[in-house]
């Protein structure tokens, strides 16, 4: 059988979904580190499609060409870096332009479809922590643990703002808050795989929590459900 781990256990998946700038990327990466699991940053795939489209002059309205780009994406995740067409993409992938582009390309059903198999291929022993919007609902519906990680829009905007400044990128608090709200709206109202807490996902509100607290909370949930 596919995805077998040990004798009878499927390879565990921890699905962490939530809105932009909720801290789920940092939390997911640290949980993966602690458990020695693989890590899937699914948002990066949508960002890469937006970046590839901008480089190739493909309109973000052109669904067929975007889906074709997504299907042929030459992307590699290695050495703490993300590579597109053999070149490291660097911080540009985290810019607001790329964030907005990713949110727009992610609304096209055929683009999402084109990225499905690539995402599922990250499920390798000893386990996977996957972060995104539809990890628990679409990509890994049978995940061992599903977390919906969120925080208030203001706290998320504040975190994103600090992150951008730390990275030396230009940022303005009002613009960041507006962008966070805009992306929330687009990501949760799209027809396909909208951002939404599933009934089987545990809510983790990090508004008053540090990253470390959030990591410990996810690990504690995982210990409760860990099958092996
Ligand atoms: O997690 P992120 O901010 O890097 O994601 C960028 C955009 O990609 C986000 O606005 C919505 C989209 N996305 C998605 O639709 N589904 C995912 N699983 C991950 C990201």
Q: How do 81-84 and 202-205 pair as beta strands? A: unpaired
Residue 109: both structure tokens together: 């059903």
Q: What is the pTM of this model?
A: 0.90
Residue 18 domain-assigned (yes or no)? yes
Whether 47 contacts 90, CB under 8 Å? no
Residue 1 domain-assigned (yes or no)? no
Write down the residue that tokens 């805009």 correspond to. 182
Q: How many domains does the chain have?
A: 1
Residue 228 domain-assigned (yes or no)? no
Alpha helices in 36-152 (DSSP H): 42-56, 63-72, 96-105, 109-120
Please provide the distance, in angstroms rounded to a whole number, between the alpha carbons at the two ends of the chain: 17
What's the burial of 71, exposed, middle or buried (CB within 10 Å: 0-12/13-18/19+)? Answer: middle
> Mutation test of ligand 1: which of 106, 131, 192 has the most ligand atoms closer than 8 Å to its C-beta?
106
Residue 68 domain-assigned (yes or no)? yes
Residue 83 domain-assigned (yes or no)? yes
Q: What is the pLDDT along the chain (228 residues), one digit of tens a residue?
A: 344 455 568 999 999 999 988 889 999 999 999 999 999 999 999 999 999 999 999 999 999 999 999 999 999 998 889 999 999 999 889 888 898 899 999 999 999 999 999 999 999 999 999 999 999 999 999 999 999 999 999 999 998 899 889 888 888 999 999 989 998 898 888 888 888 899 999 999 999 999 999 999 999 999 999 866
Alpha carbons 32 and 212: distance in angstroms, whole number: 13
Alpha carbons 48 and 42: distance in angstroms, whole number: 10
Residue 202 domain-assigned (yes or no)? yes
Residue 52: give its domain's CATH number: 3.40.50.300
Angle between helices 42-56 and 63-72 (to 10 degrees): 120
State which residues form the domain around 155. 13-221
222 lines ligand 1 (CB under 6 A): no
Ligand 1: distance of its center to the CA of 224 in Å? 28
Residue 169 domain-assigned (yes or no)? yes
Ligand 1: distance of its center to the CA of 155 in Å? 19
Residue 43, helix vs strand vs coil:
helix
Which is the closest atom of ligand 1 to the Cα of 25? 1
Residue 179, helix vs strand vs coil:
helix
Residue 61 domain-assigned (yes or no)? yes
Minimum CA distance residue for ligand 1 atom 18: 132
């Amino acid at each position: 059988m596919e995805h077998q781990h040990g004798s009878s256990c499927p390879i565990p998946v921890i699905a962490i979904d939530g809105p932009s700038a909720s801290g789920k990327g940092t939390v997911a990466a640290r949980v993966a580190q602690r458990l020695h699991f693989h890590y899937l940053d699914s948002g990066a795939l949508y960002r890469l499609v937006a970046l590839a489209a901008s480089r190739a002059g493909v309109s973000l309205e052109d669904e067929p060409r975007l889906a074709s780009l997504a299907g042929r994406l030459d992307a590699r995740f290695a050495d703490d870096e993300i590579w597109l067409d053999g070149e490291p993409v660097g911080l540009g992938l985290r810019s607001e332009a790329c964030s907005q582009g990713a949110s727009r390309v992610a609304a096209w059903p055929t683009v999402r479809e084109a990225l499905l198999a690539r995402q599922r291929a990250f499920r390798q022993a000893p386990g996977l922590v996957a972060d995104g919007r539809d990890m628990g609902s679409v990509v890994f519906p049978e995940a061992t643990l599903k977390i919906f990680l969120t925080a208030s829009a203001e706290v998320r905007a504040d975190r994103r703002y600090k992150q951008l400044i730390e990275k030396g990128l230009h940022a303005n608090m009002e613009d960041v808050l507006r962008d966070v709200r805009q992306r929330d709206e687009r990501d949760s109202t799209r027809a396909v795989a909208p951002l939404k807490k599933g009934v089987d996902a545990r809510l983790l509100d990090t508004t008053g929590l540090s990253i470390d607290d959030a990591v410990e909370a996810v690990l504690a949930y995982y210990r409760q459900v860990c099958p092996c």
